[in-house]
Amino acid sequence: MAIGWGKSYEEQMEEANQRASEEKRGHKPDAVRKREQALESLRLSRARIEQQLSRAVRPAHREMLMKALQAIEKQADELSQPSNSSESSGPPV
């Protein structure tokens, strides 16, 4: 009873097997996974900078944090847009 806060060993193994099979079914290409990880990292950085900005008092510090926030948002926008490297870069028809 001590293993897993009341769950039996068999239940834990069954849940682990289900998670593993779900992960295999949901396997994403490396490029997609890396993009999602980068977006998550930027999201966390943005949250940290916003928290610092809410406490910043000095104008120079606030300005630096605002610039960092703008740079993070720009990077997130670039990552969020689908890459059209194989298509023409002209306007859509």
pTM for this prediction: 0.58
| Mean pLDDT split into 10-residue runs, the chain, 93 residues | 60 79 71 90 95 96 97 93 54 51
Domain borders along the chain are 32-79
The reported pLDDT for the residue numbered 30 is 84
Predicted pLDDT of residue 85: 46
Instruction: Identify the pLDDT of residue 12.
Output: 78
Query: What pLDDT sits at residue 22?
Result: 65
- Closest among 56, 54, 53, 51 to 66, alpha carbons compared: 53
Model pLDDT, residue 55: 96
pLDDT of residue 91: 52
pLDDT at 37: 93
Instruction: Name which of 79, 37, 73, 77 is nearest 53 in CA terms.
Output: 73
How many beta carbons lie within 10 A of that of residue 71, not counting itself? Answer: 13
| The pLDDT value given to residue 81 | 85
Other CB atoms within a 10 A radius of the CB of residue 79 amount to 15
